[in-house]
């Protein structure tokens, strides 16, 4: 018999673990299903990221959490309070959920500090000013309090939009493709800054992007969405090394699939040899001896080794500064990708030695 104290503990623990709870949510427009049976939970203080190609429905999911779209089925809860379910929608303005928009949507008639103070109607004027100035310092825009939005650079506008959304201390922060309008060089530094600002303010956040690098930098947990379905929800490491299906494997990170055949339910044979499959690697435990399968080979699974007897022919080479990304062809025509330090300069058609070092053997039917 557990005592009541334990139950209390586990309940508050439950609220922390399932701070944002999206449970079996389906959304459709005009009879066409956009999202079906989406389920995931976000822990309080974590940053989640919905990753997927354009048109997969990830923005619709974000907008339904914000309260701009109704939910046909399922339940969205935040901090144990229902926000949306079939036939019910708590209006966006009552949710206290902040949002950073793709186009920033700054109010063009208000200067930086007035934009940030816009949502602070619950604060006194003095408190609001203190809070806004604190945020301006945190986003590094001291001195630009009175600038109008059009006088700011893209990166500065983006940070003002972030500060405006964070100002009312939202229960949850949503970010819709927040870096897509920025230069590539800016994206990485800014996404690290944004992560720091969100983490410092102890805010739970959910972001939508189609760029895996942003997701890797920002997120504690990543959900990969494949045409309206949540294919996988997990840490960046899990998503990369233990993808649940071929789509996730292909969309996240680089890699190729080799033809393979199951020698036993836990052993797969390829042209590169036999590999032992881990029990937990995928859900597809129903593989039987003799099944034809695809084996995922990431660039980091292969090591260039001039001593090795196994060789492959260089087909293309992309210079990446510190590294070369070589595409290699095996004797039977199958191709591999390998990342090699760039002082190993090999010409096209050269045969180079390779060695396999696979930590996670990922096999799909």
Partner 1 sequence: MLNLLNLGKQLRKIGVWQVFLVVMALPTLLALLGVLSSFLHPDIESLSHLAQYVLPQTIKNTIFLVVGVGVVTTTLGVSLAWLTAVCDFPLRKFFVWALILPMAIPGYVMAFALVGLFEYTGPVQHFLRETFGSSSAFPDIYSYGGVVMALSLALYPYTYLMVRNAFQTQGLRSLEVGQSLGLSIRESFWRICLPMARPWIVGGTLLVMMETLSDFGTVAIFNYDTLTSAIYKTWFGLYSLPAALQVASVLLIFVVVITLLERRSRASQRFSQTRSAKSVAGRIRLSGVDRWLALLVCVLVFSLAFVMPVMRLLYWAVPNMNADITSQFLGYVAGSTSLSLIAMLMIAGLALLMAFTARTYNSPFAKIVVRISTMGYALPGTVLAVGLFVPVAAIDNVLGAMGLSTPLLQGTMVVMLLAYSVRFMAVAFTPLESNLLRITPSIDAASRSLGVSGIKMLAKVHLPMVKGGLLTAMVLVFVDVMKELPITLMTRPFGFNTLAVRIFELSSEGLWERAALPALAIVLVGLIPAFILIRKSDAR
Instruction: List contacts with partner 1 (CB under 8 A).
Output: 63, 66-68, 91-99, 101-103, 105, 107-110, 118-119, 121, 164-165, 168
To partner 1, the closest distance from the beta carbon of 193 in angstroms equals: 21
To partner 1, the closest distance from the beta carbon of 105 in angstroms equals: 4
Query: With respect to partner 1, which residue has the nearer C-beta, 121 or 125?
Result: 121
Greatest Cα pair distance, the chain, in angstroms, is 74
Query: With respect to partner 1, which residue has the nearer C-beta, 103 or 285?
Result: 103
CA gap 241, 323 in Å, rounded: 21
Query: With respect to partner 1, which residue has the nearer C-beta, 119 or 299?
Result: 119
CA gap 319, 213 in Å, rounded: 19
Query: With respect to partner 1, which residue has the nearer C-beta, 123 or 358?
Result: 123
To partner 1, the closest distance from the beta carbon of 99 in angstroms equals: 4
Strands 88-89 and 267-270: unpaired
DSSP 277: P
Strands 362-364 and 97-100: unpaired
- Residue 357 CB: number of other CB atoms within 10 A? 9
To partner 1, the closest distance from the beta carbon of 173 in angstroms equals: 10
To partner 1, the closest distance from the beta carbon of 66 in angstroms equals: 6
Query: With respect to partner 1, which residue has the nearer C-beta, 118 or 227?
Result: 118
- Report residue 155 as tokens: 């990166």
To partner 1, the closest distance from the beta carbon of 79 in angstroms equals: 17
- Report residue 284 as tokens: 């597809």
To partner 1, the closest distance from the beta carbon of 69 in angstroms equals: 11
Query: With respect to partner 1, which residue has the nearer C-beta, 161 or 312?
Result: 161
To partner 1, the closest distance from the beta carbon of 108 in angstroms equals: 6
Q: ∠ CA(186), CA(47), CA(156), 5° rounding?
A: 30
Closest CA to 158 of 132, 172, 176: 176
Strands 32-42 and 20-29: antiparallel
Q: In 291-365, which ranges are E strands?
A: 292-297, 302-304, 311-319, 323-329, 335-341, 351-356, 362-364
Q: How many CA atoms lie within 13 A of 230 on its CB side?
A: 22
Quick one: residue 104, left, alpha or beta (phi over 0 = left, psi -120 to 50 = alpha)?
left
């Amino acid at each position: 018999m557990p005592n009541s104290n334990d139950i209390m503990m586990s309940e508050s623990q439950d609220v922390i673990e399932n701070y944002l709870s999206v449970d079996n949510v389906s959304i459709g427009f005009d009879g066409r299903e956009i999202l079906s049976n989406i389920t995931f939970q976000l822990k309080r203080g974590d940053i989640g990221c919905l990753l997927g190609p354009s048109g997969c429905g990830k923005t619709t999911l974000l907008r339904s959490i914000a309260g701009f779209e109704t939910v046909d089925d399922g339940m969205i809860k935040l901090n144990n309070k229902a926000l949306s379910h079939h036939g019910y929608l708590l209006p966006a303005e009552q949710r206290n959920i902040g949002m950073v928009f793709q186009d920033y949507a700054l109010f063009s008639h208000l200067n930086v500090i007035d934009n940030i103070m816009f949502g602070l109607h619950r604060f006194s004027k003095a408190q609001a000013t203190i809070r806004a100035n604190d945020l301006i310092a945190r986003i590094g825009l001291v001195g630009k309090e009175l600038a109008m939005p059009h006088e700011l650079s893209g990166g500065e506008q983006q940070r003002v939009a972030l500060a405006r959304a964070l100002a009312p201390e939202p229960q949850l922060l949503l970010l819709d493709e927040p870096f897509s309008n920025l230069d590539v060089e800016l994206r990485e530094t800014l996404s690290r800054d944004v992560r720091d600002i969100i983490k410092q303010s102890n805010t739970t956040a959910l972001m939508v992007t189609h760029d895996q690098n942003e997701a890797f930098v920002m997120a504690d947990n990543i959900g990969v969405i494949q045409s309206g379905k949540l294919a996988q929800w997990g840490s960046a490491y899990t998503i990369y090394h233990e993808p649940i299906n071929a789509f996730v494997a292909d969309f996240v990170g680089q890699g190729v699939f080799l033809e393979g055949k199951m020698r036993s339910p836990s052993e797969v044979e390829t042209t590169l040899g036999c590999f032992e499959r881990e029990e937990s690697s995928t859900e597809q435990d129903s593989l039987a001896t003799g099944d034809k399968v695809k084996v995922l080979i990431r660039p980091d699974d292969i090591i260039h080794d001039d001593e090795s007897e196994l060789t492959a022919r260089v087909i293309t080479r992309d210079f990446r500064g510190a590294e070369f990304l070589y595409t290699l062809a095996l004797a039977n025509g199958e191709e591999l990708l390998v990342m090699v330090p760039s002082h190993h300069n090999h010409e096209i058609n050269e045969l180079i030695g390779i060695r396999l070092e696979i930590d996670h053997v990922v096999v799909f039917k």
